[in-house]
A and B are shown apart, each in its own frame.
Chain A
Amino acid sequence: DAKTTQPTSMDCAEGRAANLPCNHSTISGNEYVYWYRQIHSQGPQYIIHGLKNNETNEMASLIITEDRKSSTLILPHATLRDTAVYYCIVRVAFTGTASKLTFGTGTRLQVTL
């Protein structure tokens, strides 16, 4: 799976949009971009994933550049409960054999009042 690069930490004021970038310049055509987050001492939580189109769900939006070399996770109105470590992971679709989901170091997002 392709390697990802994320900033170590970011701050965001409550109520504002949080934009978390991720670089994945070596992504292959069949690899998806997944975002997970981990709130302190809990298990990682799936947020969103996409292949090449922008995606939106009730939690967040995912913007993938046209060349697919980078993406941005957008939390439209961050709250204190969004304070967590956010992981951007690139991996192929499941193909009949379970495979690895490898976590990088992630971005620690701190939402403040």
Chain B
Amino acid sequence: DTEVTQTPKHLVMGMTNKKSLKCEQHMGHRAMYWYKQKAKKPPELMFVYSYEKLSINESVPSRFSPECPNSSLLNLHLHALQPEDSALYLCASSQVLGQSYGYTFGSGTRLTVV
């Protein structure tokens, strides 16, 4: 299995809702990442997990809460989002050692906050 699977593909949520994005990989990668991408902009890093521990938080607002329950799964919990948080949310994974083929990205979750 050489894929990163993200669910759901599309999500519409109200500003008072709580929802979660899910990301799964079975490539044995021990680093996982969340990126946010606004229209016509490059992806921006949000969080990095290394060996299931949060290693980088790019000053992301607390309404975004990441979780890495095991080495194959990464969640992003969403609460009290704003319309400007509408974006494509991308998950990626990678090896942690060596010069490898880089990151493998999922197809993303298209989030709309209403």
Q: Which residues of A are at the interface with B, using a C-beta cutoff of 8 A? A: 32, 34, 36, 38, 41-46, 49, 51, 85, 87, 93-106
Judging by beta carbons under 8 Å apart, are B96 and A96 in contact?
Answer: yes
* Residue from B97, B99, B101 having most chain A Cβ neighbours under 10 A: B99
How far is B44's CA from A94's CA once the two chains are assembled, in angstroms?
Answer: 19
Chain B residue with minimal CB distance to A51?
A: B99
Interface residues of B (CB under 8 A from A): 4, 30-33, 42-45, 48-50, 55-56, 88, 90, 92, 94-108, 110
Q: Which residue of chain A lies nearest to B32 when distances are taken between CB atoms in the complex?
A: A98
The answer to whether A34 and B102 touch across the interface, beta carbons within 8 angstroms, is yes
Question: Chain B: interface secondary structure?
Answer: strand
Q: Apart from A42-B107, A94-B95, A99-B48, what 15 extra A-B contacts exist at CB < 8 Å?
A: A36-B102, A41-B88, A41-B110, A43-B90, A43-B107, A44-B103, A94-B98, A94-B100, A98-B31, A98-B96, A99-B56, A100-B45, A101-B102, A103-B43, A103-B44
**Shortest distance between the CB of A66 and any CB in chain B (Å):** 20
Main secondary structure of the interface of A (DSSP, over half): loop
Alpha-carbon distance A51/B43, docked complex (angstroms): 24
User: What are the residues of chain B within 8 A of A34 when measuring CB–CB?
Assistant: 102
Which of B30, B32, B105, B110 sits near A45, CB closer than 8 Å?
A: B105
Q: How far is the CB of B21 from chain A (nearest CB, A)?
A: 13
Residues of B near A106 (CB, < 8 A) are: 42
Query: What are 12 A-B pairs at a CB distance below 8 A?
Result: A36-B102, A42-B107, A44-B43, A44-B105, A46-B101, A94-B31, A94-B96, A95-B97, A97-B50, A98-B32, A101-B33, A101-B45
Are A43 and B56 interface neighbours, CB within 8 A?
A: no
Residue of A nearest to B44 (CB): A103
CB distance from B105 to the nearest CB of A (A): 3
Q: Which residues of B contact A32 (CB under 8 A)?
A: 99
**Bound CA–CA A64/B90 (angstroms):** 29
6 tightest CB-CB pairs across the interface, nearest first? A43-B105, A98-B31, A103-B42, A98-B50, A93-B99, A46-B102
A46 touches B48 (CB 8 A): no
